[in-house]
Structure formats: C-alpha cells, structure tokens
Amino acid sequence: MDASASIPNITDITGPLLFGALVNWALFGVLVSQIYYYHVHFHHDPRTLKVFIYFIFLVETAQTGIVAHDSFVFLAGGWGNLSLVSSQGMLWLTAPFMDGLVGGCVQLFYAWRIFVLHESRVLFGVLGFLSLVSMGGGFAAGLESIIFAHEDSTRVQEKTKVIVTPIHQVWGVCMMVCDVLIFACMIAWYRKVRHSATYKLTHDIITNTVKYTVASGALTTTATVAALIIFSVIKHGFYFSLLGVIITKCKRCFFR
C-alpha cells in the first residue's frame, strides 16, 4: 500500500522538514564561521560572555544534528512508516524546547545590553520578564508536544495537525513582543548616539552599525512573526517547523 495514499497531505509534512533542514544547515555554516571569528579576535572577552557564546553554539550544534537525524528518519530510513510520521520525531525538542532556550537566552542578553546602554531598570525588567516567560512557554510547549505525540490514536492525520493551545499562544506572543521591543530599543539608542557623534569616523562607524542592526533585527523579528502566523493559521502539516527549527539560528547568527 502506498503510504502517501493514507496521508493526503504527505507533502505538507515532508516538504517543510526538508527545506527546514537545508536552511538549518546553511545557517549553521554561518554560525561556525562566526564562532571561529569570535574565538580568534575576541579572546579577551570576559569568561562569562565566552561561556554564554559557546553554550549557545553547543545547543545549536546539537539541534543541527537532531534535525539531520529526523530528516533521515522521515525521508530515507523510515520512509513509508506511518507510525514515525505520527510520532513527529524530535520536533518537540528542536522546535519549541530549543527555540525557547536559545531565544530566551539571547533575549536576556539583549535585555542586559539595553540596561547598560539606556540605564533603564524598567526596560530591563519588562524585557527580562518577557524573555523568561517566552523561555518557559517554549519548555511547556515542548512538553505538550511530547504528550500529544504519545497519545493513542488510530488516525495519523490527527497527529499531523497543528493544535494551538494557550501555552503556544503565550510563548509565541511573548517572543514576538520581546523581539520587537529589543529591536526598537537598539535602534533608538543607535540613532541617539549617531546624532551626537562629532567625528566623521565615529559617525560612519555608528551609521554602519545602525544599518546592520536594522537589517538583522528586521530579519529575526520577521522570522518570529512569520512563525507565529504560520503556527496560528495553517492547521495541517509541519509548516511551523520550517521556521521553528531555524529561528534560533536566525537569532544567534544575526545578534550583536
């Protein structure tokens, strides 16, 4: 019996997993080059910051390996096995859990940076709260995914549908709001410093930094918003995983 005949939306399941894995590997290459550059040129950074950077890199490396494993299981070694499709593999770990962990850590880093730049305890408190809630929401969403994947069901189609719970909504909204606030705060600070710069060289450096911040911040914020929209609107397939498995690398590859 043809497995695809039993799952009308088989392309909606395997397609996003394939493209998500490919983009994930591409961004991992960018991340490796950045880590090498950081190791060579910023070896005088505080030990705490080094531990943070390398911890994020280890988590991203683990995520890339798990995504590669799932891709092989779904698209090669386990092709046609409907029980593997209904189990969702390790998506509960690579998408909500690791997204929550890395995304929350990066957002907390930005909250600390904004506190240093703006000297605002209010901003630090708001961003820190949203970061922690987002991180906890990712962990809770991962646990919900485990429970849902192991529930007894005779219909594979039911397990390939996206079920949006309040936990998923809180996780996504907090992550999106925190990213938008961080983006706005960084742009506001850079604009203020740029206008106060008196030397042309300083002005040029700050201008280039602003351009990079706008581009990278817009990219990561757009990816977060797009993932939230896809997760809320598309109720079938694994389209949420297309951005879910790469959103942490977007945050890590493009944060400064």
Q: Is residue 12 part of a domain?
A: yes
CA distance 179 to 147: 29
What Rg do the C-alpha atoms of the chain give, in angstroms? 20
Instruction: State the pLDDT at residue 256.
Output: 54
The 10s digit of each residue's pLDDT in 117-129 is 788 889 999 999 9
Q: Is residue 1 part of a domain?
A: no
CA distance 152 to 148: 9
Instruction: State the pLDDT at residue 72.
Output: 86
CB neighbours (10 Å) of residue 16?
A: 21
Phi, psi of 236 (to 5 degrees): -140, 160
Asked if 239 and 12 count as a contact pair (C-beta separation under 8 A), the reply is yes
pTM value? 0.79
Q: Is residue 167 part of a domain?
A: yes
Instruction: State the pLDDT at residue 55.
Output: 93
How many domains is the chain partitioned into structurally?
Answer: 1
Q: Is residue 2 part of a domain?
A: no
Instruction: State the pLDDT at residue 133.
Output: 92
SS3 content of the chain, % helix, strand, coil (to 5): 85, 0, 15
Output the tens digit of pLDDT for each of the chain's 256 residues.
444 444 556 777 777 778 888 888 888 898 899 899 888 988 888 999 899 999 999 998 998 898 888 888 888 876 766 666 666 678 778 878 888 898 889 889 889 888 887 888 899 999 999 999 989 988 988 888 777 766 644 444 455 555 567 787 788 888 888 888 888 887 887 777 766 656 665 666 666 666 666 667 677 777 777 777 777 776 666 666 666 666 667 766 655 5
Nearest Cα to Cα of residue 162 among 238, 83, 225: 238
Q: Is residue 246 part of a domain?
A: yes
Q: Is residue 244 part of a domain?
A: yes
Instruction: State the pLDDT at residue 51.
Output: 92
Q: Is residue 3 part of a domain?
A: no
Domain span holding position 47: 8-254
Look up the CATH number of the domain holding residue 41.
1.20.1070
Instruction: State the pLDDT at residue 23.
Output: 84
